[in-house]
Chains A and B, each alone.
Chain A
Amino acid sequence: MPGTVMVVGVARYLGARIASSLSRDPKVERVVGVDVVPPARDVGPPGEDLSAVEFVEADITTSAIHEVITQVGPDVVVHMNILATRSDAGGRAPQKEINVIGTMQLLAACQRSETVRKLVVKSSTAVYGAGPGSPALFSEDMAQGAMTRRGYEKDASEVEAYIRGFSRRRPDVAVTILRLANVLGPIIRTSLSDYFTLPAVPVVFGRDPRFQLVHEDDAVDAIHLATGEDRPGIFNVAGDEFLGLSQALLRAGRMPVALPSLGSPFVRGIMRRAGVADLDAVQVRFLTYGRGVDTTRMRDELRFTPRFSTVETFDSFAAAQCGRALLDRGRLATAERAARCMVRTFRGDGG
């Protein structure tokens, strides 16, 4: 029985949904949310709210988190406060501060705590990096590759290194790390959802990266499962199937603009200044080489089965956030029927 669960990073969308989902779980007695700002009342999907969630205002990049943990005495700590994009944090420096220093402070506090029995961390498949030498499917043991890493990829692998150190010092605390693929869905806003909703979507010429997605509901369910059950370990979490970038753009009816590179400072500077997109090096590599992760362990050991495939996730996002496409399925089907009709008429006349 989890008893008291503390959700760190409750003011953000996924953090709020986890807290709300846990507060509706009869097995959980008490849910405490921690963040620097109070969360909005409205979580997102109808029927979900934070009325049953206690809120404590604290900055995890300071030792304030230590006092909070002593006072609350949580049994389980869910660490949702790792930010994937610098625009989320307001720049690269605060992003690194929140990700790395925040995790260090949180782990220091957990190490002292006498109540904490379990730690659940939301990490990301970005720890694997992306490049021409990447295997098609990363499994959980392949994270310590020799790939040069900067930005968020570096944060994510540093955070995981601190967590490994923590589990050595506190072997009695069960640690579950969930490496989520890119989360998308009808409501959540991420750097990828911002990217796909651009009026014209910049892509790298001659590249068609493939990727996996997790539906926001599946992300919440996976973290909830890891909080409720004892499934220690590291798990990739991703939906079935793959999407190619060009294919995704077609399905959403978005207009691609091929550029020689998204990574040159010139192109990135123009896009940022024009307010088009703020792509950092990590996203550029992802949009150039793509990434795939092996989810065997998620099914067999975490025993989690996503409800949405990558394609279903993308379609639910596109239907809710991308508006009506120029080449949507209805119009295409009509055009196809018209073409067939024309051909038949022509053939009938000729014969």
Chain B
Amino acid sequence: MTDGEPGEGHPDTRDVAGMADVASDRFDEAQLSETRSDETGFDEARLDQALSFLARRLSGDFTVDPFGFDEDLTESVLLPALRMLYRHWFRVEVRGMENVPSDGGALIVANHAGTFPLDSLMLQVAVHDEHPAARHLRTLAATLVFQLPVVSDVARKNGSTLACNEDVAELLSRDELVGVWPEGFKGIGKPFAERYQLQRFGRGGFVSAAIRSGAPIVPCSIVGAEETYPMVGNLGFLARLLRLPYAPITPTFPWLGPLGLVPLPSKWMIEFGEPLATDQYEVGAAEDPMVVFELTDNVRDVIQQTLHGLLEKRGSAFPQFSRSE
């Protein structure tokens, strides 16, 4: 049962709206390039959209789902903002998008890096913008995220929820595409010297969840996040004082103050591997540690191998600077 899901009562209208969204995205892009070429700088359709968005926001006329996901806000504000970073700052290249299913629940498992979870945000843009079904990636985040004001608010509205078994199961049963970073803080908070070396994959909770729901696991390798905020030092005492998992020192932070918060413009590549089916397992396999560990190691190996391949293909992390030399 998917009670409480927005638009549940009108599946038809919802589908139509979804298609219209995709269509309008395409339309937008076409129009954008047109306006650029004719240099009038005025675009009635965009203004129209902005006005109706504003009216919807001011009257509270939008829906949030049980996880707090605000599709209207994500599509109109959050994704466009992230898209700038995605296209122009990190110049993300995507491979293997055909491995991401167009419908039904699936679990995308990726490596985690870079001090600040830019990789989860970029993966969200990749899946939405480059997949033909323009799917929303529902990312799983640590409890810490939901303890912080503002961050917790934005995270929920952007489609994140707590990384716990109940939420994964619920999302998968609603046929959502779920993004998980099983390395957690061990991955994102590792020193720069250990870049692209996968950490332990938690306790395999994501594998149990996938087996229970019968959802496929799509391994995903992300290259580029490691160089955004290279962590060269960690102020352990400060982290303990602030109850944070780490207090990073990067080549620019805290030395340059707020400017140090600007991520380095590394070149990114994201590759999706072939999906691993989980529906062939028997009932109860999710509680069998051997099955879970085996599948976990399998996924981890695929990601690690692909990372090595991608690193070779990419070459320098900052090709824009090496070319000018």
Q: How many A-B residue pairs have CB under 8 A?
A: 118
Which residues in A have their C-beta under 8 angstroms from that of B280?
none
What is the total number of residues of chain A having a CB less than 8 Å from a CB of chain B?
A: 47
- Give B90 Cβ to nearest chain A Cβ, in Å: 27
Number of B residues whose C-beta is below 8 Å from A? Answer: 44
Nearest-Cβ distance from residue B110 to partner chain A, whole angstroms: 21
Residue of B47, B54, B143 near A133 (CB, 8 A) is: B143
Contact B59–A210 (Cβ < 8 Å): no
User: Which residues from 273 to 321 on chain B have a C-beta closer than 8 Å to any C-beta of chain A?
Assistant: none
Contact with A along B1-21 (1 / 0, CB 8 A): 101101011000000000000
**Are B6 and A136 in contact (CB-based, < 8 A)?**
no
Instruction: Give 1 or 0 for each of A327-351: 1 = CB within 8 Å of chain B CB.
Output: 1010011011001100100010010
Q: Which B residues lie within 8 Å of A172 (CB)?
A: none
Q: Tell me, yes or no, whether B65 is within 8 Å of chain A by CB.
A: yes
A residues in contact with B149, CB < 8 Å = 204-207
**Partner-binding segment picked from A46-54, A58-66, A194-202, A235-243:** A235-243
Which residues of chain B come closer than 8 Å to A248, judged between CB atoms?
A: 60
CA distance A248 to B3 in the complex (A): 20
Stretch at the interface among A77-85, A89-97, A292-300: A292-300
Query: Which residue of B is nearest A335, CB measured?
Result: B55
> Does B67 have its Cβ within 8 Å of any Cβ on chain A?
yes
Whether A244 and B4, one on each chain, are in contact in the complex, defined by CB atoms closer than 8 angstroms, is no
Contact B6 A241 (CB under 8 A): yes
CA distance A329 to B63 in the complex (A): 16
For window 64-96 of B, CB contacts with A under 8 Å fall at 64-68, 70
**B153 at interface, CB cutoff 8 A:** yes
- A136–B51 Cα gap in the complex (Å)? 32
Decide yes or no: A206 and B152 within 8 Å by CB, A135-B164, A347-B42 being known contacts. yes
A316 contacts the other chain (CB 8 A): no
Would A132 and B1 be within 8 Å (CB), given that A210-B68, A332-B59 are in contact?
no
Q: Could you tell me the distance between the alpha carbons of A67 and B208 in the complex, rounded to whole angstroms? A: 55
24 A-B pairs (CB sep. < 8 Å): A132-B147, A135-B166, A136-B66, A136-B67, A137-B170, A206-B152, A207-B153, A208-B157, A210-B156, A240-B8, A243-B64, A246-B60, A247-B62, A250-B58, A251-B59, A290-B68, A296-B1, A296-B3, A299-B3, A332-B55, A336-B51, A336-B52, A336-B54, A340-B48
User: Chain B interface (Cβ within 8 Å of chain A)?
Assistant: 1, 3-4, 6, 8-9, 42, 44, 47-48, 51-52, 54-55, 57-68, 70, 143, 146-153, 156-157, 161-162, 164, 166-167, 170
Q: What is the interface of chain A, defined by CB distance below 8 A to chain B?
A: 132-137, 139, 142, 204-208, 210, 212, 238, 240-244, 246-251, 289-290, 292, 294-296, 299-300, 311, 327, 329, 332-333, 335-336, 339-340, 343, 347, 350
